[in-house]
Chain A
Amino acid sequence: MRNRRFISFLLVMLLGGAACSRSAKTKKLDIVLVTKALDSEFWQRLKSGAEQAARQNPEVRLAVLAPEREINIDQQVAILEDQILKRVAALAVAPAGVAEIIPVLEKARAAGIPVLIVDTDIPWPHRAGFVGIDNRLGGRMAAEFIVRAIGGRGKVAVIRGVLGVATQEDRLAGFLDVIQKVPGIHFVGAQPANSERALGMTVMENLLTRHPDLRAVFATNDQMALGAMEAIAARNLTGKIVLVGFDAGREAVRAVLDGRMDAVVAQFPERIGERAIQEAIKAARGQPVEKFVDIGTGLVTRENAHEFLR
């Protein structure tokens, strides 16, 4: 009776789901990349780099999955649990947490699935390898730029991502390495904005209210930097406060070109994604994997910004 309509509704929905997966009979190498989220250009570019590597290896079947937000740690755990069940050939993971993720990675190890860590390193001894960047160096580069830009004197703040995550801690640590050695600079603190744009804007507004004489800000990722940029513009302070971001997505690079942002530490997310999948393929095939791959960082400024816009 009425169940009929419910059934047909379900079938329509499931057909949609079926369209996303086809259980082929040919023997494919299932590689799964699980990132922290897919809500920023950084992760999207990492994903496209990964897909590039997969295309170069036709026997590889790549799936890229992520929770809705970077803070949904339990959702990432659930995704990993389900993928482990499918006995995929290899996992590449950008972990959203540390202690929360290790247990499920141990399950992967017990199931014989090699796990590659991407972008954010964690102290888990059984990882097959790490592909990312030296975040500490990136932080230092940002700090050096700021010190030059404000002549070594003035108030400086940091807007950072989720607490307790290695990437963010390293960027901040590198930044402080340099800043703390300069006597004329007053560091007013590091505020978290969960790598989200809207939160970045709010945090920046609060910083400006508390420190109207703020001279420079380092945001440890692009999204937060772009949010901070809006807050600065709203108070007509563009150009008066030095703003440095991290990631160098297209939008941020254009902002540097336009003069709304001063510099961005460049990661090369496509290269990270591509290399991560290449190493994962090696691991899946049982070949030796490079333990630590540093893709390298660069600094985008007004002078070289146009190079970064391909």
Chain B
Amino acid sequence: MTAMPAWLARAASEALRRFGPLLALLLMAAALSLLSEHFLTLDNLLNVFRQSAVNALLALGQLTVIITAGIDLSVGSLLGLSCVLAAMALKAGVPSAAAVLLALATGAVLGALNGILFTKLRLPHPFIPTLGMMNVARGLALVLTGGFPISELPSPFRFWGAGAVAGIPMPVIVVLFFCVLFHLFLTRTTPGRDLYAIGGNRQAALLCGVPVDRRLILAYSLSGLMAGAGAVILAGRMNSGFPLAGVGAELDSIAAVIIGGASFFGGVGTVLGTLVGALIMGVLRNGLNLLNVSAYWQTVVIGAVIVAAVWVDVVRQRAAPGR
């Protein structure tokens, strides 16, 4: 143990937890701007935000679930299914606003189903129902489309993913909107606090009168809702509802949450951290693209960053235990 006064160790640990990911992001950005002249241009930064948007949305939902010491493996598939259903509805003449609501509702309802299965069937771990849902939803998306993408979507719908307001891309506005919403929910409301309590000690939360089952269903439903939101953005950007949309997206969302400082064991995690986590991944991918580094190496680097993030968290915990 270093001979540091206890109060300083605690303050440093707290600062690292709150600002560690942000600091890492800024350092990364600084380094990349030195390595590539294109990085720090407005166009490129907008690219980064656009490219990180879907992951950021999914990560907000995943954060909610991870705070409760759970996990949602189905978000990628829910995104794909929502994408497909919205595209099919649009092709059938449904107005864009309704198609957006359909995507959100698909995610929310199937997410709630995940939560219901987990709580009512008393399954030992949310791994089980969300893994099942991952396969079922993906299968449904493929069956409904026969594997073919549904392209050429109407522009009011595409606006969410491809449009801009005053030069700011819509995906960025949508992400910021949901960030504020989730932040307020998690820090200023009782149901939000209950989620942290459940993650901290489920049994104790139950004995304090927290309606644990109801809250868990809410958490998984929110995760599904965000998958639906991600579907709208992605379909807008890609101009197509393709059934394989979102393959692997659940792992990216988990990575963003963990890099952002949340703990797998529950009870810890912030919206700012998650947003920064998603940006770190986006910046890494973008930066490596600009440096012409192959996609395979990008995966290696992201894996290394995840390990580093968890390691920093462990070191921090040892320096000031209990938080």
Contact = CB atoms under 8 A, between A and B. Distances in A.
A binds B: yes
Interface of A: 1-3, 6-7, 9-11, 13-14, 17-18, 20-21, 23, 32, 38, 63, 65-68, 71-75, 77-79, 81-83, 85-86, 97-100, 102-103, 163-164, 192
Contacts of B27: 6-7, 10
Interface in B245-303: 245, 247-248, 285-296, 299, 301
Given A20-B292, A65-B292, A78-B285, A6 B308 contact: yes
| Top 7 closest pairs, chain A to chain B, by CB | A99-B151, A82-B289, A163-B147, A100-B238, A63-B292, A21-B291, A99-B240
A85 B41 contact: yes
B234 interface: yes
Interface of B: 12, 16, 20, 23-24, 27-28, 31-32, 35-38, 41, 43-44, 47, 50-51, 54, 146-149, 151-152, 162, 234, 237-240, 242, 244-245, 247-248, 285-296, 299, 301, 304, 308, 312, 315-316, 319
Contacts of A9: 308
B295 A68 contact: yes
Contacts of B151: 98-100, 164
Given A74-B238, A78-B51, A192-B147, A68 B289 contact: no
A21 B35 contact: yes
Contacts of A10: 24, 27-28, 31
25 contacts: A2-B315, A7-B27, A13-B304, A14-B32, A17-B287, A18-B35, A21-B291, A32-B292, A65-B292, A65-B294, A66-B294, A67-B295, A73-B244, A74-B54, A74-B245, A78-B51, A81-B50, A82-B290, A83-B289, A85-B290, A100-B239, A100-B242, A103-B239, A163-B149, A164-B242
Contact of B51 (A3, A11, A81, A83): A81
A200 to B, nearest CB: 15
B215 to A, nearest CB: 33
Contacts of B286: 78, 82
B239 A163 contact: no
A79 B291 CA distance: 11
Contacts of A2: 12, 16, 312, 315-316, 319
A97 B149 contact: yes
B288 A23 contact: no
B162 A103 contact: yes
A11 B35 CA distance: 11
A299 to B, nearest CB: 29
A135 to B, nearest CB: 18
Contacts of A66: 294-295
Nearest to A163: B147
A11 B38 contact: no
Contacts of A23: 36-37
A79 B242 contact: no
A77 B146 CA distance: 24
Contacts of A81: 47, 50-51
A71 B248 CA distance: 11
A75 to B, nearest CB: 7
B291 A17 contact: yes
Contacts of B290: 82, 85-86
A92 to B, nearest CB: 14
A163 B44 contact: no
A102 B151 CA distance: 11
Contacts of A79: 289, 295
A160 to B, nearest CB: 10
A29 to B, nearest CB: 15
B295 A75 contact: yes
Contacts of B319: 2
A97 B35 contact: no
B242 A14 contact: no
A14 B31 contact: yes
Contacts of A97: 149, 238, 240, 242
A100 B153 CA distance: 11
A73 B31 contact: no
B268 to A, nearest CB: 18
Contacts of A103: 162, 239
B137 to A, nearest CB: 16
A102 B152 CA distance: 11
A79 B35 CA distance: 18
B68 to A, nearest CB: 28
B57 to A, nearest CB: 14
Contacts of A1: 12
B301 A13 contact: yes
A165 to B, nearest CB: 10
A127 B139 CA distance: 35
Given A100-B238, A163-B148, A17 B35 contact: yes
B292 A6 contact: no
B238 A77 contact: yes
A9 B316 CA distance: 17
Contacts of B50: 81
Given A79-B289, A99-B151, A73 B238 contact: yes
